[in-house]
Amino acid sequence: MANSPGAFTEAQVISRLREIFATTDPRVEIGIGDDAAVVAGTYKRQVMTTDMAVEGVHFRTDWSTAFEIGRKVTAANAADILAMGATPHYLLIAVALTGSEDIKWIEDLAKGIKFEADLAGLQVIGGDLSRSEKIVISMSAIGHCDSPVARKGAKVGDGVYLSSLTGWSAAGLAIMESKLISATDSHAVAVREYKNPTIDYKFDATRATSMCDVSDALVIQAKQMAESSKVAFKFDLSKIQSCSEFVELESLSRAIGMDIWKWIFAGGEDHVLLATGVDLPGILIGEVVVGAGIQNLPTGVETIAWRHF
């Protein structure tokens, strides 16, 4: 009966989570199992973010394994810390379960969280469990930096960069929705990027003047950064087309009859970094110019963008 749906207690789950997320980090004085976590030491600037993932909105259990769901939600939180030019440190997790899951599913969710947290340098130090009609996963990540990189620092003359090409997650979603069988490597990459977005953890943001995580859509986040900085972002479509990833993504878009520009500019949940500055790593996709808003968008993209509501 140990693995039958609902055949577990909260204490059993917490005990397993304590084992999965065990740490020897000397900064963690009190971790999972108490009323709150205690960590030693303070930093000049603490960077904190929180995010929520809801079954049926951000993930589907019939499309993704528990391990994949754990990775995806963790990656979204880690990307927000990176987008501030900060180093990730700690992660707090609150999960609402339906009660029909078995212990193996919960363990796999935790192992997926642990896998991505290890990539990000995050220590899981506590959280909460509850019950709900749908699975809900809420995370709060904490990091630190000496000098945060906000969205409002873009300067005229800066280049506009992506840490990697957007659109892969949207391509993966299109494949999943159309129930196409992954016949090529590009199909497999797109589906993987939808389920487990690749976070550019090694992106060097030390020279970035502004930055954000592209979680909603490139067209939305670029507009937010331009408005915050009181400048305009002018895209150079030819530079995007010269990117090596573009050729592969365009081939995939043609194969399934989709518009690649809508994937790149209006797709969501890529979690790549959008940054401005001079001689940054990644893909140069435009420049910061005098004006307001965003310029030189492909036709039809303006009114189509990923959104929650």
Q: Could you state, in order of their start, the residue ranges of all structural domains in the chain?
A: 10-145, 159-295
Between 155-164, 184-193, 276-285, the lowest mean confidence (pLDDT) is in: 184-193
Distances (CA, A) of 218 to 67, 164, 188, 272, 290: 27, 12, 23, 10, 20
Encode pLDDT of 132-166 as tens digits.
Answer: 999 999 999 998 888 889 999 999 999 999 999 99
Check residue 2 and report its DSSP letter. T
Encode pLDDT of 189-246 as tens digits.
Answer: 999 999 999 999 999 999 999 999 999 899 999 999 999 999 999 999 999 999 999 9
Please name the fold of domain 10-145: 60s Ribosomal Protein L30; Chain: A; (3.30.1330)
Per-residue confidence (pLDDT) for residue 36, from 0 to 100: 47
Q: What is the pTM of this model?
A: 0.87
CATH tag, 159-295: 3.90.650.10
Per-residue confidence (pLDDT) for residue 306, from 0 to 100: 56
Cβ neighbours of 81 (radius 10 Å) = 26
Beta bridge partners of 54: 136
